[in-house]
Amino acid sequence: MKIVVIGGSGLIGSKLVSKLRQHGQEVIAASPDSGVNTITGEGLAEVLTDTQVVVDVANSPSFEDSAVMEFFETSGRHLLAAEAVAGVKHHVALSVVGTDRLQESGYFRAKQAQENLIKKSGISYSIVHSTQFFEFLRSIAAAGAVGEEIHISPAPFQPIASEDVAAAMAEVTMGKPINGIIEIAGPERISLAELVQRYLNKMGDTRKVVADRHARYYGAELNEHTLVPENGARIGSIDFETWFSNQKIVINH
């Protein structure tokens, strides 16, 4: 089975490509560097020839509201049109748990637009909704910086290791299309503010996290349910302590 991974050089894409190859699949890691660009359309028709499954794990280089919408709409349109011509049988995409509850945020409006294009494309699909990756904690902390403090919502949060995300994506990619959404999350539920503080402490960053329930998460206010999956989500095995201990990080002590 020929599988093309769009965004195959990224955090999730590169891990997913290795896992699929370990399962003996024929996999092409596609990205602008390898001559496949979903924004310009360059290389798409060629790479999709004789392809059965396409996995889209690309991400926008900019998270600014209009840039990210432009990225996911244009990329989605070009990719799905090229898949229809090539006769692709299964489109797999990675999106975010709570996307529909985060529509105050420009990033999540763009992810919703991406999902809507997939649902109306006529191509069989599986959308995986993941919670936030542990690897994303650093960006979450940076986005909450207010002077010397970090203002973060205490809303419940259930982050996952990128390794667990890639494993789940590999299974979905090798399975049948579900024409719906499945959710994946990490093994522990914790307050977002508390985990960011634990992360900063471990990094030797002395800044204090202020738990502020009005602090916005990429433009959206959070409640008890926004970021956490429903019952029935697939749960990864790697917890925060295990993930952190496996990172090659320079600590600022």
Ligand X SMILES: NC(=O)c1ccc[n+]([C@@H]2O[C@H](COP(=O)([O-])OP(=O)(O)OC[C@H]3O[C@@H](n4cnc5c(N)ncnc54)[C@H](OP(=O)(O)O)[C@@H]3O)[C@@H](O)[C@H]2O)c1
Contact residues: ligand X, CB under 6 A: 6-7, 9-13, 31-33, 36-39, 57-59, 61, 94-96, 111, 130, 132-133, 136
Q: How far is the CB of 162 from ligand X (least distance, A)?
A: 7
Q: How far is the CB of 148 from ligand X (least distance, A)?
A: 25
**Separation of alpha carbons 22 and 26, rounded Å:** 10
**Residue 223 corresponds to which tokens in the numbers above?**
């409640």
**Residue 76 corresponds to which tokens in the numbers above?**
């989605």
**Separation of alpha carbons 194 and 208, rounded Å:** 10
**Nearer Cβ to ligand X, position 10 or 236?**
10
Q: Which of 42, 71, 67 is nearest to 59 (CA)?
A: 71
Helices (H), 23-86: 44-48, 65-86
**Nearer Cβ to ligand X, position 41 or 148?**
41
Q: How far is the CB of 109 from ligand X (least distance, A)?
A: 12
**Nearer Cβ to ligand X, position 206 or 249?**
249
**Which residues make beta-bridge pairs with 94?**
128
**Nearer Cβ to ligand X, position 95 or 197?**
95
**Nearer Cβ to ligand X, position 51 or 206?**
51
> Which long-range contacts does 202-208 make (Cβ < 8 Å, 24+ apart)?
202/244, 202/251, 203/249, 203/251, 203/252, 204/251, 204/252, 204/253, 205/141, 205/252, 207/145, 207/148, 207/149, 207/150, 208/148, 208/149, 208/150
**Nearer Cβ to ligand X, position 208 or 247?**
247
Q: How far is the CB of 120 from ligand X (least distance, A)?
A: 19
Which residue's CB comes closest to ligand X? 10
Helix (H, G, I), strand (E, B) or coil at 156: strand
For the purposes of burial, counting CB atoms within 10 Å of the CB of 18, is it exposed (0-12), middle (13-18) or buried (19 or more)? middle
**Nearer Cβ to ligand X, position 39 or 210?**
39
